[in-house]
């Protein structure tokens, strides 16, 4: 016999419902068609500049491999942070569901809100799960916090923000503002997490309790209080971790994000036989991901395609429609697979994890 925790199950089912893929998918596809329409309107379109060959197939395969390495990096990090208390299969499920939740949530919010549930339901205490999710967010933001100034310093701001007539650090360059706002959000977030996890975990507990004061969440206030106490205890444990522990976790983080950025390089080689400026392209992608944080749409749909087609246009042939089509191919590799994975894995995972077996008398 088994009893299902209906309230908790229904709440999570609503949050990661397969129906929610319709909104970001429609926004993304509609944005592509609209941008494509305005780009090719009253212009001659030719795809002769695109080189279709065996190299195209090979480097599209390489792009898929980079995305695989990206997910493997996340799985390695999850196993490190959980101290190998989960299997590779469990790590895979959590990462896929986490990415699915991120894909259907506004970029500024991401999927961390339900990530704690995903981790907890794989057999880890709620407090430790919260600490793992926060440590994950900390490592992600730390990567951007370190890499952004290094990229600016090594490449130069004029080359990073050079888009047509809007070049360098000037007030006419909207991409500069997107990057600065995104970086400021990340900086504030990492300062809060660092202070909360390593210096004063009580502030995280108070923040959680403050959130659960809202009427719709009050029923879980006692659980939130227990989670806050667990976070304080797990914070002490995290502070005792050796430097090597954090170095390994950050190394896995760097592997994940770096592999994701090289996806675009592989796509550009596949279609345009690009042979130079690969580091600049890599640098611009890092800045582009920071820009995407300000997007209010689920998974950055629409905004991501626009930023990609405009911000990276200098690396593509100046032919009407090429940039936005390439942006769509990029999203086919980096975004839509997680929507599909969530639809496939989510329903069965919810059914399996929200069944509580009764003890036989």
Q: How many CB atoms lie within 10 A of CB 78?
A: 24
Q: How many CB atoms lie within 10 A of CB 39?
A: 17
Percent of the chain with pLDDT over 90: 16
Instruction: Grade residue 4 by pLDDT with cuts at 50, 70 and 90.
Output: very low
Give me the pLDDT at residue 172, please: 56
Q: Give mean pLDDT, residues 75-97.
A: 93
Q: What whole-number distance in Å separates Cα of residue 144 and Cα of residue 187?
A: 9
What would the pLDDT profile of 266-295 be if each residue is shown by its tens digit?
998 888 876 678 888 888 888 888 777 666
Q: To the nearest whole number, what is the mean pLDDT of the chain? A: 76
Alpha-carbon 263 to chain mean position: 14
Tell which wins on pLDDT, 15 or 260: 260
318: which residues sit within 8 A by CB, 6+ positions away?
A: none
Alpha-carbon 270 to chain mean position: 24
Tell which wins on pLDDT, 112 or 248: 248
Residue 3: DSSP 8-state: E
CB 167, CB 158: distance < 8 Å: yes
Q: Measured at the alpha carbon of residue 195, what is the angle toward residues 193 and 200, in degrees to the nearest 5?
A: 115
Q: Evaluate if residue 360 carries a pLDDT over 50.
A: no
Q: Evaluate if residue 168 carries a pLDDT over 50.
A: no
Q: Evaluate if residue 330 carries a pLDDT over 70.
A: yes
Instruction: Grade residue 45 by pLDDT with cuts at 50, 70 and 90.
Output: low
84: which residues sit within 8 A by CB, 6+ positions away?
A: none
Which runs of consecutive H residues, i.e. helices, occur in the chain? Answer: 6-15, 22-40, 54-81, 88-103, 112-120, 126-155, 157-160, 174-194, 202-211, 221-239, 243-272, 278-291, 303-311, 322-334, 336-353
87 backbone φψ class: left, alpha, beta (φ>0; ψ -120 to 50): beta
Q: Evaluate if residue 196 carries a pLDDT over 80.
A: no
Instruction: Grade residue 167 by pLDDT with cuts at 50, 70 and 90.
Output: very low
Give me the pLDDT at residue 359, please: 44
Backbone angles phi, psi at 321, to 5 degrees: 90, -20
Q: Evaluate if residue 73 carries a pLDDT over 60.
A: yes
What would the pLDDT profile of 101-149 be if each residue is shown by its tens digit?
887 776 555 556 678 888 888 888 877 887 888 888 889 888 988 888 8
Give me the pLDDT at residue 41, please: 59
Q: Evaluate if residue 42 carries a pLDDT over 60.
A: no
Percent of the chain with pLDDT over 70: 68
Tell which wins on pLDDT, 344 or 167: 344
End-to-end CA distance of the chain: 12
Give me the pLDDT at residue 215, please: 62
CB 203, CB 195: distance < 8 Å: yes
Secondary structure class of 165 (helix, strand, coil) = coil
Q: Give mean pLDDT, residues 239-259.
A: 91
301 backbone φψ class: left, alpha, beta (φ>0; ψ -120 to 50): beta
Q: What whole-number distance in Å separates Cα of residue 260 and Cα of residue 152?
A: 19
CB 94, CB 341: distance < 8 Å: no
Domain boundaries, the chain: 2-357
Secondary structure class of 163 (helix, strand, coil) = strand
Give me the pLDDT at residue 77, please: 95
């Amino acid at each position: 016999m088994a009893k299902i925790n209906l309230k908790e199950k229904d709440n999570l089912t609503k949050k990661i419902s397969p129906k929610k893929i319709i909104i970001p998918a429609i926004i993304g596809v509609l944005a592509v068609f609209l941008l494509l329409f305005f780009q090719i309107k009253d212009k001659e379109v030719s795809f002769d500049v695109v080189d279709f060959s065996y190299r195209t197939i090979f480097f599209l395969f390489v792009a898929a491999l980079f995305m695989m390495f990206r997910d493997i990096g996340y799985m390695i990090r999850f196993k490190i942070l959980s101290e190998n208390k989960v299997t590779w299969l469990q790590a895979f499920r959590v990462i896929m569901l986490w990415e699915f939740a991120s894909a259907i949530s506004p970029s500024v919010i991401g999927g961390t809100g339900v990530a704690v549930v995903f981790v907890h339901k794989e057999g880890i205490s709620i407090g430790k799960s919260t600490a793992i999710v926060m440590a994950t967010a900390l490592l992600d933001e730390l990567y951007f916090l370190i890499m952004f100034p290094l990229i600016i310093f090594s490449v130069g701001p004029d080359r990073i923000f050079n888009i047509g007539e809007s070049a360098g650090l000037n007030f006419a360059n909207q991409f500069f503002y997107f990057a600065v706002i995104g970086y400021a959000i990340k900086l504030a977030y990492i300062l809060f997490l660092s202070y909360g996890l390593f210096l004063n975990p009580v502030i995280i507990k108070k923040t959680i309790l403050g959130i659960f004061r809202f009427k719709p969440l009050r029923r879980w206030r006692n659980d939130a209080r227990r989670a806050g106490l667990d976070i304080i205890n797990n914070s002490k444990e995290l502070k005792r971790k050796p430097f090597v522990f954090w170095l390994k976790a950050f190394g896995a983080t760097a592997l994940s994000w770096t592999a994701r950025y090289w996806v675009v390089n592989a796509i550009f080689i596949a279609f345009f036989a690009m042979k130079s400026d690969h580091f600049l392209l890599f640098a611009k992608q890092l800045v582009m991901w920071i820009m995407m944080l300000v997007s209010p749409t689920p998974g950055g749909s629409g905004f991501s395609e626009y930023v990609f087609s405009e911000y990276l246009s200098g690396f593509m042939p100046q032919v009407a429609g090429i940039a936005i089509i390439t942006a769509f191919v990029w999203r086919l590799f980096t975004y839509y697979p997680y929507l599909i994975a969530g639809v496939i894995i989510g329903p069965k995972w919810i059914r399996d994890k929200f069944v509580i077996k009764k003890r036989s008398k």
